[in-house]
Amino acid sequence: MSLEHVRSLSGGINQTGVRAYNERLLLSVLQRNGALPGGDLARRTGLSPQTTSVILRKLEQDGFLQRGDTVKGQGKVGKPSVPFDIHPDGIFSMGLKIGRRSADLLVLDLKGRVRKQVRQTYDYPMPDTVFGFLTDGFATLMADMPDEMRARLCGLGIAAPFELWNWHELAGAPAVDFAAWREVDFKEEATRITDLPVHMVNDATAACRAEHVFGIGREFRDYVYFFVGAFIGGGIVLDHAVFEGNQRNAGAFGPLPVTDLDGQPGLLIDLASIRGLELRLESDGLDPRQLWQLPQDWSHLDAYVEPWLQQAADALARASVTSCAIIDFEAVVIDGAMPFSVRERLVEMVHTRMDKQDLRGLIVPTIVEGLVGDNARGIGAAAGPIISQLLLDRSAALFDHA
């Protein structure tokens, strides 16, 4: 990704007593833009060079930053500068993704890299299964973690579908079983198991956050994000911040009305979810669980994948037009729990179908692939504790006062 396209953050404060904000500001700028020398950081943030230097030294001492190689001025002019960068080992966080077909528990570093991960698949999620997986997975990851890594573990983020108990029919589960989720206190159960601070987030919002913090989302100010999983969801980014909404459920695109390839009315969740591909396999007596095996390889399923892609791309193009008619989004970002080659094909097909939509009065957005992929929900979940500790998150700031 070209850093010249990455939007900048600015607006530091030099007064005494607000260094915690300024530390977050500098860390956020470095996380967003990559390594920069102190002079550049001062100019970008509006902080004085002295204030910037003091904070950088403190963050380096605390293990959050590392120095790069000295960069000499061009020719004989210019003072050599030393770039500072995020130290990947500065802090770690765990993320638990509760999906409709699988659960993942991962350890994320400050650079957004997954260091360790365990997964369990199932026909549909139940509390005993999910929290049993968390218990065993947490013990496994902690046992395999060096002492210095454990000492810098800051929390656990959980990404789960909104009102999970309402998804029984689409997940193919008995309603009486799924009703058990109504009584579950996610934070209480997870804290009991891990003894870590716990952050909850909608799973699709978590995926959007991962793309925004660690992926291509850094290139755009306002965009709509679609994540194609077992069911489709997404997120909204406005003015460089993930917008969660009044009930923290913004970007719940599943019920969005669209039409199928025959012009019949339908919902986005029925026409652009991987569940639709599962049904195509099931209708011919094939096991849909093969779609979720790692590493993902759907190349032997082209006869089923291609018609599913045709329908999903058409529905996504219609949903993109509807979304951009409400808010003048700069881009549409599409990611999903699928092989990279399938995602690339899906985005190409959405491009083609956008040209066939009625776009009068609209500025056509850029259509791009997400970069994070299948792990987006777990990474976004793990990003929550890291953001709360070290980075700026204007979205959270808007709602925490309520």
Ordered per-residue pLDDT tens for the chain, 402 residues: 333 444 455 555 444 434 489 999 999 999 989 999 999 999 999 999 999 999 999 999 999 999 988 776 555 455 678 999 999 999 999 999 998 889 999 999 999 999 999 999 888 888 999 999 999 999 999 999 999 999 999 999 999 988 776 765 555 667 777 788 888 999 999 999 999 999 999 999 999 999 999 999 989 999 999 999 999 999 999 998 999 988 888 999 999 999 999 999 999 999 999 999 999 999 999 999 899 888 899 999 999 999 999 999 999 999 999 999 999 999 999 999 999 999 999 999 999 999 999 999 999 999 999 999 999 999 999 999 999 999 987 644 333 333
User: Do 226 and 278 belong to one domain?
Assistant: yes
Q: Which of 62, 86, 110 is the last residue of a domain?
A: 86
Q: Which residue has the tokens 């396999």?
A: 281
Query: What is the CATH number for 69?
Result: 1.10.10.10
User: Do 97 and 81 belong to one domain?
Assistant: no
The answer to whether residue 209 sits within a structural domain is no
pLDDT at 173: 66
The answer to whether residue 13 sits within a structural domain is yes
User: Do 78 and 102 belong to one domain?
Assistant: no
The answer to whether residue 176 sits within a structural domain is yes
pLDDT at 7: 46
And the tokens for 345? 């094909």
- Confidence (pTM): 0.88
Which residue pairs from 117-125 have beta carbons closer than 8 angstroms and sit at least 24 positions apart in sequence? 117/375, 117/378, 119/294, 121/289, 121/292, 121/293, 123/172, 123/173, 124/100, 124/168, 124/171, 124/172, 124/173, 124/177, 124/178, 125/98, 125/99, 125/100, 125/164, 125/171
User: Do 80 and 103 belong to one domain?
Assistant: no
The answer to whether residue 24 sits within a structural domain is yes
User: Do 13 and 101 belong to one domain?
Assistant: no
The answer to whether residue 30 sits within a structural domain is yes
User: Do 332 and 265 belong to one domain?
Assistant: yes
Cβ neighbours around 248 below 10 Å, total: 14
**For residues 8-38, b (16+ Cβ closer than 10 Å) or e, as one string?**
ebeebeeeeeebeebbbbbbbbbbbbebbbb
Q: Kindly state the DSSP code that residue 8 receives in the 8-state scheme.
A: P
User: Do 99 and 151 belong to one domain?
Assistant: yes
Query: What is the CATH number for 136?
Result: 3.30.420.40
The answer to whether residue 367 sits within a structural domain is yes
The answer to whether residue 391 sits within a structural domain is no
User: Do 317 and 235 belong to one domain?
Assistant: yes
Q: Which domain holds residue 250?
A: 216-371
Q: How many domains does the chain have?
A: 3
Q: Which of 86, 104, 131 is the last residue of a domain?
A: 86
User: Do 10 and 150 belong to one domain?
Assistant: no
User: Do 240 and 344 belong to one domain?
Assistant: yes
Is 173 in a helix, a strand, or coil? coil
The answer to whether residue 71 sits within a structural domain is yes
User: Do 110 and 188 belong to one domain?
Assistant: yes
User: Do 68 and 96 belong to one domain?
Assistant: no
pLDDT at 401: 33
| Contact indicator for 333, 224 with CB cutoff of 8 Å | yes
Angle at 236 between CA 95 and CA 209, to 5 degrees: 20
